[in-house]
Amino acid sequence: YDLITIGDYDWIVVYLGYGREVSDEAIAFANDALQRYSQRNAIVATHAYLNNGGTIDEAARGQRIYDNIVVPNERLAVPSFIE
């Protein structure tokens, strides 16, 4: 992860590796970092979080990321691109 400041806003950017982002270890890593820096706005960078319709990809890793990382953490954005 990276810690950055843009203007008056502090951010944490957590990166999830492609194909590994839904492992228990990756989820624990992301949640630990997000909780440690919970006072910061957060971005979780990952692949295939959304499907072609722009909704959470329930058939792939998107739903697990949503349920286990997004829901328990506030102030979070998840950028994604469609494969």
Cβ-based neighbour number of residue 64 at 10 Å: 17
Q: CA 73 to CA 1: how far, in whole Å?
A: 16
Per-residue pLDDT reduced to its tens digit, 52-71 = 787 887 766 788 888 999 89
Instruction: Calculate the dihedral angle through the C-alpha atoms of 44, 9, 37, 23, rounding to the nearest 10 degrees.
Output: 0
- The answer to whether 31 and 39 have CB atoms below 8 angstroms apart is no
Q: Which portions of the chain are predicted below pLDDT 70?
A: 19-20, 59-60, 78-83
Q: Please report the pLDDT score of residue 80 as a whole number.
A: 56
